[in-house]
Amino acid sequence: MPKKTILKQILIWRAKYISHRQFIYILSIIIGFTSGVGAVVLKNLTHFIQHLLEGKLIADYHHAFYFLFPIIGLALVYLIIKYVIRNKVSHGIPSTLYAMAKRKGIMKRYQMFGSILTAPLTVGFGGSIGLEGPTVATGAALGSNISRMFHMNQTSRNLLIGCAAAGAMSSIFKAPIAAIIFAIEVFSLDLTIASMLPLLLASLSAILTSYFFFGDDILLPFRIEDKFYIDDAPFYIILGVVAAFVSIYFTEIYDRIHTFFDKIESPVKRLIIGGLGLGLLIFLIPPLYGEGFDVINNLIIGNPEKALQSNLFHMDTDNIWIVVMLLGGLIFFKIIASCLTFGAGGVGGIFAPVLFMGSIMGNALAKIINHCGLFNEPVSESNFTLVGMAGLLAGVLHAPLTAIFLIAELTGGYELFIPLMLTATISFSITKYFKTHSVYNMELGRKGELITHDKDHAVLTLMDIDKVIETNFISITPEMNLEQMIHTAVIKSNRNIFPVVKQDTQKLQGIILLDDLRPIMFDQSLYKEVVATDVMQKPPAVINLDKDKMTDIMQKFQDSSAWNLPVTKNGIYFGFISKSKLLTAYRRQLITLQVNS
């Protein structure tokens, strides 16, 4: 039986026997499973590549290969993108946010396998980034295309993309509650009964898939041994402040290096510059190689020396201040290594680098507190390592609840809940003051194309400007006399406004209202004397399609009190937007969101 016929029969059966909401539940389970499988495939491929590269054949020469491996991996990624995928493979979560905000939740089919082919090569060969972003992107693309296959509307597609994100995170970290909160915080999903149950089902489906393939293995196997004492609260407040400033540093460096590479048009030049820079950094600082979870685990169990023993200058790691200095170097250079990986064309995510830097930051601060000689009672270095991760997650990702619940679930309890809340809240608040948008939504936020929890802003973001532009206005040239204006425009038009446009450049000069012509239009003695420039007026505001967002357009209507405003694009007259049509489109979009939420 043909594929389309089977699908058609499924759709008919579904329409007859299953409600829309019930079908969403079924799809959320399927998407959770596919996200879990995607996580398994990505992780296993990466580990397989790392196992091959760390084999006995090159064991004696491995340090030299720290320089070569990243360049080889990035070159392979470039070739696969150019000759196999033949499309740009964007960073996981930002590309997913863009699809939700500006592409109506539609993700192209190649995105279902693009990250699977490229991310393991990037990370497996030593790229200093993580697999969480590609896993989310793979799951989201699967969710988007499955929902399209079953003719889901835009709101349902976005919800199912959120389910895929929750499923991916649940599968990777075995933290189902944190995964749900991650989908709500990062993807700005509304927390309603209609959205909560699909997210729960997807997260559960994904974690069961992960247990089936990985068993009880988790990324950060740790159980809390040191209790939290209220006397330690001031130190966790300090940790929150430090985490905030490290988050600001992370965001600033990320933005600047990305801006630098964006100015380089040639992907080969980007590959050479980024690859050589990354190879050199990893050669000099081997702990920057790959995701870095081995380093994190060594810090948590109290063995920083094991993570730092391969430092370039063979410094004595028995000296605590040398250890602190080396840890500070890892914090400083990790984000640079990550950005060089991205700049060179690598495919990955920033979740792992954030955890890496956060764990080191917390561990280093605890060591400073314990050995500076100012305090009698030592703080728990392992607890600070864990809470440091939460602090940096809250600051960099602007996701404090995700940070709190992720670390709480990873540690198998809520003994650290108070310090987690203290550190995450302070870090998030200070970072948010200096950096309005997280690294995930920085670019979209600047353009005003980001969906947020603000319902009004979300509706405006989802509206399509092109659909509210009207082009059936008859234009007038500046040199037309009154007789020409009446016969070529007024008589033929059912509008009461006329754009004045230069014939050669098509640039808008002004507007003429019918009310401006009515007092003189029957005085034939003025037919040859009055020209368009005599009665033309400046529009109260002009909408520029090149830079104005929907929120800007609404503001211009509010400030000008106009009912029609002209639209220009690339400096050329394009049409008009009427307030009535804009409000009608807004109302329809709002109803669509409310009906499907």
pLDDT tens by residue, 556-565: 888 888 888 8
In sequence order, the 6+-apart residues with CB closer than 8 A to the CB of 151 are: 11
In sequence order, the 6+-apart residues with CB closer than 8 A to the CB of 387 are: 236, 239, 362, 407, 416, 419, 420, 423
**More confident site: 508 or 14:** 508
Determine the Cα–Cα distance for residues 145 and 351; give it in Å rounded to an integer.
Answer: 25
**Contact in structure between 188 and 208 (CB atoms under 8 Å):** no
pLDDT reported for residue 589: 65
pTM for the complete prediction?
A: 0.77
- Tokens standing for residue 120: 């393991």
Determine the Cα–Cα distance for residues 556 and 564; give it in Å rounded to an integer.
Answer: 11
Determine the Cα–Cα distance for residues 247 and 397; give it in Å rounded to an integer.
Answer: 9
pLDDT reported for residue 454: 47
pLDDT reported for residue 579: 80
Asked whether the predicted pLDDT for residue 334 surpasses 90, the reply is yes
Determine the Cα–Cα distance for residues 165 and 198; give it in Å rounded to an integer.
Answer: 12
List the domains of the chain with CATH numbers: 3-214 (1.10.3080.10), 230-457 (1.10.3080.10), 461-595 (3.10.580.10)
Asked whether the predicted pLDDT for residue 276 surpasses 50, the reply is yes
pLDDT reported for residue 425: 95
Determine the Cα–Cα distance for residues 26 and 34; give it in Å rounded to an integer.
Answer: 13
**More confident site: 63 or 173:** 173
* Least confidently predicted of 33-47, 308-322, 521-535: 308-322
3-state secondary structure of 510: strand
pLDDT in tens, 377-416: 888 888 899 899 999 999 999 889 999 999 888 876 678 8
